[in-house]
A and B are shown apart, each in its own frame.
Chain A
Amino acid sequence: MQNFGKLEITTPSDREIAFTRSLDAPRQLVFDAWTKPELLKRWLYGPNGWSLVTCEVDLRAGGRYRYVWHHTNGNEMGMGGVYREVVPPERIVNTQLFDQDWTEGEAVGTLVLTEKDSKTTSVNTVLYATKQARDGALSTPMADGMEMGYVRMDEMFASLAKEAR
Chain B
Amino acid sequence: MKLIGYVDKAAGLDATFAALADPTRRAILARLASGAASVMELAEPFEMSQPAISKHLKVLERAGLISRGTDAQRRPRKLEAKPLAEATEWLERYREFWEASFGRLDSLLSELKLSELKKTGLKSAAQNGAVIKNSSPKSRTIQMKTIKHNNRKPGHAGPGRQKK
- Using a CB–CB distance below 8 Å, which chain A residues touch chain B? 4-5, 7, 9, 19, 21, 23-33, 35, 38-39, 42-48, 59-60, 88-89, 102, 115, 117-118, 132, 135-141, 143-146, 150, 154, 156-161, 163-165
Interface membership of B6, Cβ < 8 A: no
Residues of B close to A135: CB separation below 8 A: 10, 13-14
Instruction: Compute how far the CA of A140 lies from the CA of B20 in the bound complex, rounded to whole angstroms.
Output: 10
Instruction: Compute how far the CA of A48 lies from the CA of B104 in the bound complex, rounded to whole angstroms.
Output: 11
Excluding A115-B141, A164-B84, 6 further A-B contacts by CB distance (< 8 Å) are A24-B106, A28-B144, A47-B100, A118-B137, A139-B18, A159-B33
B137 smallest CB distance to A (angstroms): 4
Report the nearest A residue to B146, measured CB to CB.
A28
Contact A150 B95 (CB under 8 A): yes
Residues of B close to A23: CB separation below 8 A: 102, 105-106, 109
Report the nearest B residue to A156, measured CB to CB.
B26
Contact B102 A33 (CB under 8 A): no
Chain B, 13-56, contact with A by CB distance < 8 Å: what is the 0/1 string?
11011101110001001100110000000000000000000000
Interface membership of B79, Cβ < 8 A: yes
A-B contacts, 7 listed (Cβ < 8 Å): A23-B105, A33-B109, A118-B138, A141-B17, A146-B22, A160-B30, A161-B81
Instruction: Compute how far the CA of A163 lies from the CA of B110 in the bound complex, rounded to whole angstroms.
Output: 41
Contact B160 A28 (CB under 8 A): yes
Interface membership of B133, Cβ < 8 A: no
Q: Is the interface of B mostly helix, strand, loop or mixed?
A: helix
Residues of B close to A9: CB separation below 8 A: 95
Instruction: Compute how far the CA of A35 lies from the CA of B149 in the bound complex, rounded to whole angstroms.
Output: 10
Interface membership of B91, Cβ < 8 A: yes
B41 smallest CB distance to A (angstroms): 17
B6 smallest CB distance to A (angstroms): 13
Contact A29 B116 (CB under 8 A): yes
Which of B17, B22, B92, B140 has the most A CB atoms < 10 Å from its CB? B17
Instruction: Compute how far the CA of A31 lies from the CA of B108 in the bound complex, rounded to whole angstroms.
Output: 12
Residues of A close to B103: CB separation below 8 A: 5
Contact B110 A25 (CB under 8 A): yes
Residues of A close to B110: CB separation below 8 A: 24-25
A14 smallest CB distance to B (angstroms): 12
B83 smallest CB distance to A (angstroms): 10
Contact A146 B21 (CB under 8 A): yes
Contact A117 B138 (CB under 8 A): yes
Residues of B close to A145: CB separation below 8 A: 21
Report the nearest B residue to A60, measured CB to CB.
B150
Residues of B close to A102: CB separation below 8 A: 10
B10 smallest CB distance to A (angstroms): 3
Interface membership of B125, Cβ < 8 A: no
